[in-house]
Amino acid sequence: MDNQRLVLLMIFGFSILMLWQAWEKEHRPAPTQAGSSVPGPSTTKASPPSSPGASAAPSTAVVPGVGAVAVGEVVRVQTDLLLVEIGTVGASLQAVELRKHKDAGDATKNFVLLGREHSYFAQSGVIGDGMPNHRSIWRALPGERVLSAGADKLEVRFAAGGPNGVTAEKRYVFHRDSYVVDVILEVTNRGNRALSGHGYFQLVRDSKDPAGQSSMMYTYSGPVLYTTETAFKKLGFEDIEKGKADYPKHADNGWVGMSQHYFVSAWLPPAKTPREYYAKKLQDDLYSAGVILALPEIAPGTSASVASSVYIGPQEQRRLKAAAPGLELVVDFGWLAIIAWPLLWVLELFHTWTGNWGVAIILLTVSIKAIFFPLSAASYKSMAKMKLVTPRLSKIRETYANDRQKMNQAMMDLYKTEKINPLGGCFPILVQIPVFIALYWVLSAAIELRHAPFMLWIKDLSALDPYYVLPVLMSISMVIQSKMNPTPPDPVQAKVMAFMPYVFSVFFFFFPAGLVLYWIVNNVLSILQQWQIQRMFTRDQPVRAKR
């Protein structure tokens, strides 16, 4: 198999990928058209949730649903990494901006992960009859709202009342240089009988794709869950709606979240704490994914608390690994993750040396070509042999045009005489294909390339080349490479192969600049390597070529 057949294989693969993406979008549950306003964290009093009771297990606790829309005040919090809006209705995180990451369409604006662009909130509360939850009115307590220069953390507090003198306090603790926010729910029992209850922490989101997502590259958006028993799971919106989402309901470890291209939000309960996970469809194209934690029994005159941290930020490896075990798995490297992780590690290593992600991609490409040099050389030598005997193969086809059996026998005799394995160029290329695919996912999913400049007009390696210079150069390199390959004896196949580089190059006009840069460097190195091997092979066998 030569590089032209590799082109066919890659086209087939990308075609399957895009067909799958089209099918996925077609069968994704469409937003429900409702007459009422879209419910979010800014919702207030509705029918009270049922109480779990004093002896209730976590599985009997019912998280409050959505109610009528209400308007409350907004508390704005600022840290070195986050700009946060917390509504007094529910004391929920209703908008979160990431100060170190810019909007996909407007580099002058911060990227908004929660809220605004679409319905996306982080909610929490206490399950129990009349207990404060994400539909209740909370009162913002006095305190700082901006992380001061000399402080390592900032605490923002809210208070709400419940039945029979029960009060609750919700504390948000923000940390310097961190996307992890601690959320503590503390309930005080001022009544005359013991209380029990559960705290819940959930993410509510619609099923719309994030703004700026490329239609040519499928990336998952939706609920995700991790436990050590079942590892990483994607809980698709459609599966949740149909009741087909498969995930552990009870565990003492793990986390639950909402993932999208480059970013993630996830609730991270304390380790070795019994919890119940849930994921369900709400109304108006809203979906919730969350976790329920039991409160200790609260005797009269005492308090008890339940807490969980929430990560709201970019899919940066060092931050994800530090936040919780398994959280780094939200970076979607597909089924070749075992190859993709080492490639990302090497790419990051080159970046620490050069300070430029584009240069790091070039060095990684050169390294991969060097590693596979023996295999590539074997493939190109096989192609060089095939190119030398192509005229003789064409003559055999003409001689035995009406007898395919004799034609095949004559071709096999020629291969045997010239010691040519017609599949000799196939295996070396097949071995490299998993690495190419893994690198494709690395360059597609690594947030490190988002808004990372290369040089000159390339200001963002994760975006399209604004002037399409790289795709044009890629097309030229593919045409040159196709001219160096042996022409197939079959005229129809020859025409298809000659036309295929132009067809395949169209894909690269819709791929990120970083991925196109990799392919250009790879093609240039392949052309140089192939030219040198063919030149040496032709020089060493001038007589055999004429036979």
Considering the chain, what is the average pLDDT of its residues? 78
- 454-495 tens-digit pLDDT: 888 888 888 888 888 888 888 888 888 777 665 655 666 666
Q: What is the mean pLDDT of the segment spanning 218-232?
A: 88
The whole-number pLDDT of residue 170 equals: 96
334 found inside a domain: no
Question: What's the pLDDT at 24?
Answer: 40
What region does 146 belong to: left with phi over 0, alpha with psi -120 to 50, or beta?
beta
Highest-scoring range by mean pLDDT, 14-23, 34-43, 459-468: 459-468
Q: What is the distance in angstroms between the CA of the first residue and the CA of the last residue of the chain?
A: 24
Which H/E stretch holds residue 416? helix 404-417
Q: What is the pLDDT of residues 245-263, one digit of tens each?
A: 888 899 999 999 999 989 9
In this structure, the answer to whether residues 355 and 276 fall within a common structural domain is no
Question: Are 268 and 327 in contact, with CB atoms under 8 Å apart?
Answer: yes
pLDDT value at position 121? 92
The encoded tokens of residue 153 equal 């953390």
Say whether both 139 and 252 belong to one domain.
yes
Tell me the one-letter amino acid at 281.
K
Segments forming the whole domain that contains residue 448: 3-17+341-546
Question: Does any domain span residue 47?
Answer: no
Q: How many CA atoms lie within 13 A of 197 on its CB side?
A: 31
**What integer is the mean pLDDT of 301-314?**
93
Q: Does residue 500 form part of some domain?
A: yes
**What is the SS3 assignment for 51-68?**
CCCCCCCHHHCCCCCCCC
58 vs 369, more confident: 369
Q: What is the pLDDT of residue 186?
A: 93
pLDDT confidence of residue 440: 80
Q: 282 and 310: one domain?
A: yes
pLDDT of residue 309 exceeding 60, the answer is: yes
Residue 276 has pLDDT above 90, yes or no: yes
SS3 content of the chain, % helix, strand, coil (to 5): 40, 25, 35
More confident site: 480 or 414: 480
Higher-pLDDT residue of 426, 87:
87
Q: How confident is the model at residue 434, as a pLDDT?
A: 83
Q: Is the pLDDT of residue 15 over 60?
A: no
Does 372 lie in the same domain as 316? no
Can you tell me the distance from the alpha carbon of 276 to that of 248, in angstroms, rounded to the nearest whole number? 8
Same domain, 459 and 360: yes
Q: Mark which of 280, 295, 329 sits at the end of a domain.
A: 329
Are 511 and 379 part of one and the same domain?
yes
Amino acid 21: pLDDT:
39
Q: Give the pair of three-digit tokens for residue 147.
A: 């992380």
For the chain, the farthest-separated pair of C-alpha atoms sits apart, in whole angstroms, at 105
Task: Read off the amino acid at residue 398.
Answer: E
Instruction: Quote the CA–CA distance of 264 and 547 in Å, as a whole number.
Output: 65
| Residue 341 or 413, more confident | 341
User: What CATH number is given to the structural domain containing 272?
Assistant: 2.70.98.90
Nearest one of 105, 88, 101, 93 to 141, comparing CA atoms: 88
Q: Which residues contact 130 (CB under 8 A, 6 or more apart)?
A: 48, 162, 163
Cβ(323)–Cβ(194) below 8 Å: no
Report CA 285 to chain centroid distance, whole Å.
Answer: 22
Residue 63 has φ and ψ, to the nearest 5°, of -75, 135
Residue 383 and residue 288 share a domain: no
Final residue in a domain of this structure, among 329, 355, 377: 329
Domain count, the chain: 2
Burial classification of residue 141, based on how many CB atoms lie within 10 Å of its CB (0-12 exposed, 13-18 middle, 19 or more buried):
middle
Strand positions, DSSP E, 270-356: 275-281, 286-294, 303-314
512 band by pLDDT with thresholds 50, 70 and 90: confident
Q: How confident is residue 288, by pLDDT bands cut at 50, 70 and 90?
A: very high
Let me know whether 370 and 498 are in one domain. yes
432 and 474, same domain (yes or no): yes
pLDDT tens digits along 313-356: 999 988 999 999 999 999 888 778 888 888 989 999 999 999 99
CA nearest neighbour of 44 among 96, 97, 87: 87
Question: In this model, does residue 95 exceed pLDDT 90?
Answer: yes
- The average pLDDT across 176-192 equals 92
Please choose, from the candidates 275, 234, 232, the residue with its C-alpha nearest in 3D space to the C-alpha of residue 251: 275
Q: According to the model, what pLDDT value does residue 63 have?
A: 67
Higher pLDDT, 463 or 16: 463
User: For the residues 510-533, what does the mean pLDDT come to?
Assistant: 82
336 in any annotated domain: no
Looking at 18-27, 33-42, 163-172, 495-504, which range is the least confident one? Answer: 33-42
Highest averaged pLDDT of the listed ranges 23-37, 63-77, 168-182, 339-353: 168-182
Look at residue 32 and tell me if it is in a domain: no
Q: Any alpha helices (H) in 243-372, and if so which ranges? A: 317-323, 337-354, 357-371
201-215, 230-244, 387-401: least confident range: 387-401
Is residue 53 assigned to a domain?
Answer: no
Q: Which residues, 6+ apart, have CB-to-CB distance to 147 below 8 Å?
A: 78, 79, 80, 153, 154, 174, 176
pLDDT value for 485: 66
Q: Retrieve residue 222's tokens.
A: 């939706």
Domain end position, chosen among 329, 361, 378: 329
Residue 62 inside a domain? The answer is no
Indicate whether 449 and 524 sit together in one domain: yes
Q: What is the pLDDT of residue 524?
A: 87
pLDDT at 306: 93
- One domain, residues 279 and 357: no
Looking at the structure, do residues 183 and 224 belong to the same domain, yes or no?
yes
Q: Is the pLDDT of residue 37 over 60?
A: no
Residue 40, domain member (yes or no): no
Residues above pLDDT 70, as percent of the chain: 74
Cβ atoms of 37 and 280 closer than 8 Å: no
- Give the model's confidence band at 68: pLDDT under 50 very low, under 70 low, under 90 confident, else very high: very low
d(CA 497, CA 5): 8
| CA 224 to each of CA 237, 290, 430: distance values in angstroms, whole numbers, following the listed order | 10, 10, 33
